[in-house]
């Protein structure tokens, strides 16, 4: 642990429990790490607006959002990759052509989260913050992340194979797929961040649970899979700890920071 410069955490399924909260024990462990001179960062597929509930308590030194499309250190932007409005509209039209006019989609910009479907307030994840309902007839801002929900997995991947400059990843907890520019992966975001901040990936300990975390865990000096991670993440990691609902992160950090 003495050579660790940065602890980097995914949010959902990792730092967050299933009820979308962070335990006091985990917050205390992160504070202890900071007191020992270690930076704390977040690397998530959520947009910044979808993370606002947690940023006030975590105060990350490094913040990677939209799966790697935006990298910030404090308020300083270190890296950004976005689709143009025309490219985003092309995705929207093609999604409707392939999956139907009522296909559910989201678009994330720097400051807004847009969606084209309604959710019963009782079933809505309040941690996602404010979302703007739209029919997606027009997009006028650069898009950091486009997502589509479909059960037609074969058709989705057939489409993805035609997109040379786009990274497509499925989320394991549903039928949602994330589209970002090819350079907008968590692992590339980390490389951009280390170049800007002047340290090596060997000094990073990264924690994750889902497909989007695999490259990150392979790249960093120590890749840590959660006990609840999918098998592919555990295979890519250097070690596996307890689950997100069992204070796996806190327990592990307590053991190496003691």
Percent of the chain with pLDDT over 70: 95
pLDDT at residue 71, as a whole number: 98
Q: What is the pTM of this model?
A: 0.93
* Domain, as residue range, for 130: 85-181
pLDDT of 34: 96
Evaluate whether residue 119 is within a structural domain.
Answer: yes
Q: What are phi and psi of 120, to 5 degrees?
A: -60, 125
Q: Given 151, 181, 211, which residue is the final one in a domain?
A: 181
Instruction: Among 157, 181, 205, give the residue marking a domain's end.
Output: 181
- Choosing from 143, 162, 181, the residue where a domain stops is 181
Under-70 pLDDT residues of the chain? 1-2, 119-129
| pLDDT of amino acid 132 | 85
pLDDT digits (tens, 9 = 90+) for 177-207: 999 999 999 999 999 999 999 999 999 999 9
* Terminal C-alpha separation, the chain: 10
Our count of domains for the chain comes to 2
Burial bucket for residue 154 (CB in 10 Å: 0-12, 13-18, 19+): exposed
DSSP-derived secondary structure letter, 150: -
Q: Identify whether residues 169 and 209 lie together within a single domain.
A: no
Is residue 123 in some structural domain? yes
Do 107 and 222 lie in one domain? The reply is no
pLDDT tens column, 50-87: 999 899 899 999 999 999 999 999 999 999 999 999 99
Query: Exposed, middle or buried by CB within 10 Å (0-12, 13-18, 19+), for 75?
Result: exposed
In a domain, 245, yes or no: yes
Give the pLDDT score at 118.
Answer: 73
């Amino acid at each position: 642990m003495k050579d660790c410069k940065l602890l980097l955490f995914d949010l959902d399924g990792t730092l967050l429990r299933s009820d979308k909260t962070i335990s006091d024990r985990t917050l205390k462990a992160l504070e202890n790490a900071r007191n020992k001179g270690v930076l704390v960062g977040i690397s998530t597929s959520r947009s910044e607006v979808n993370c606002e509930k947690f940023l006030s308590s975590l105060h990350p030194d490094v913040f990677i959002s939209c799966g790697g499309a935006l990298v910030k250190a404090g308020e300083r932007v270190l890296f950004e990759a976005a689709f143009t409005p025309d490219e985003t509209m092309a995705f929207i039209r093609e999604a409707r052509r392939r999956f139907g006019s009522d296909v559910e989609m989201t678009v994330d910009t720097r400051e807004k989260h847009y969606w084209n479907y309604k959710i019963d307030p009782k079933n809505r994840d309040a941690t996602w913050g404010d979302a703007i309902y739209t029919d997606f007839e027009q997009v006028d801002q650069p898009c950091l992340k486009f997502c589509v929900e479909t059960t037609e997995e074969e058709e989705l991947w057939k489409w993805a194979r035609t997109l040379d400059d786009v990274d497509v990843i499925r989320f394991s907890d549903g039928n949602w797929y994330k589209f970002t520019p090819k350079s907008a992966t968590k692992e590339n975001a980390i490389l951009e961040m280390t170049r800007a901040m002047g340290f090596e990936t060997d000094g990073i300990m990264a924690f994750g649970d889902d497909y989007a975390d695999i490259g990150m865990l392979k790249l960093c000096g120590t890749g840590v899979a959660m006990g609840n991670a999918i098998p592919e993440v555990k295979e890519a990691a250097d070690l596996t700890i307890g689950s997100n609902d069992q204070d796996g992160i806190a327990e592990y950090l307590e053991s190496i920071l003691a």
